[in-house]
Amino acid sequence: MTTPAPSEVFVHHVLFYTHAAASAADRAQLLEGLQQLQRIPGIQLAHIGTPAATDRTVIDRTYTYSWLCLFASAADELHYQQHPLHDDFRSRYARYWEKVVIYDAVGPTS
Amino acid sequence: MTTPAPSEVFVHHVLFYTHAAASAADRAQLLEGLQQLQRIPGIQLAHIGTPAATDRTVIDRTYTYSWLCLFASAADELHYQQHPLHDDFRSRYARYWEKVVIYDAVGPTS
């Protein structure tokens, strides 16, 4: 008898870096955009974060928002990328960030 | 009546970059180390991933392993950092990576 492989989860993690001259209102706008993104169906878990208090040399604390979402499959993540709310997010909110860094990772959870 | 704030979750995301000369056996060793880390109590959710097939300019696909874990609080994450299994991981497996990048983010989930 073989043990079935644990199911794989698709992790999509985006770090948003706002412009140096961004105001508190600009950052609030971007946060509002991320809150809209959460409404896209198929997201298993979404997390909107800001840098924690932890501070070691290997920790990047220079981003403004961390947007993490988990999907049951790569197909679900593709569906998210292609959803009209995602298009809307890009067209309305891209002005608020200077840089994004994305990590997409697939593997088991425990 | 006020709505209680959603509870905050501590996201700890580590990207491990192995040495250019790392062998498949070296990478397997590091994976074994991450599997040991999962045993530390207090982790709400752990995910061990490798780069997904998605490939856009803003996506970093150069890491070897993504190690993501969620905690109920910053205190739980600190406890994890100080756990003997974490010390053991560092002392036994640090030889297998060349670089790590860490994002610690605090905020609500949905």
**Each residue's pLDDT tens digit, A52-84:** 999 999 999 999 999 999 999 999 999 999 999
Report chain B residues whose CB lies below 8 A from the CB of A77. 52, 54
The rounded radius of gyration (Å) of the Cα atoms in chain A is 16
Q: What pLDDT shows up at residue B7?
A: 83
Here the ipTM equals 0.93
Closest CA in chain A for residue B64: A105
Instruction: Give the span between the Cα atoms of B52 and A106, in whole angstroms.
Output: 5
Q: Where are the alpha helices (DSSP H) in B1-110?
A: 24-37, 74-81, 84-93
Beta carbons of B105 and A68 less than 8 Å apart: yes
Q: What is the pTM of this model?
A: 0.94
Task: Determine contact, residues A11/B63, Cβ cutoff 8 Å.
Answer: no
In a domain, A70, yes or no: no
> Which residues does B88 contact at the CB level (< 8 Å), separation at least 6?
B36
Q: Measured between CB atoms, which of B60, B70, B105 is closest to A52?
A: B105
In a domain, residue A98? The reply is yes
By DSSP bridging, strand A45-51 and strand A65-71 are antiparallel
Overall number of domains in chain A: 1
**Which chain B positions have a beta carbon within 8 Å of A63's beta carbon?**
103
Distance CA B64, CA A38 (A): 28
Mean of the per-residue pLDDT values for chain B?
A: 95
Q: What is the DSSP letter of A75?
A: H
Q: Is B35 contained in some domain?
A: no
Q: Is B96 contained in some domain?
A: yes
Is it the case that residue A3 has pLDDT exceeding 80?
no
A100 lies in which domain range? 10-19+84-105
Assigned domain for B98 exists: yes
Look at residue A7 in the predicted model and tell me its pLDDT: 83
Contact in structure between B96 and B29 (CB atoms under 8 Å): yes
Is residue B4's pLDDT more than 60? no
Tokens of A63: 């981003």
Averaged over B87-110, what is the pLDDT? 97
Answer yes or no: is A42 within a domain.
Answer: no
Provide the shortest C-alpha distance from residue B36 to chain A (in Å).
12
> Is B36 inside any structural domain?
no
- Residue A90, domain member (yes or no): yes
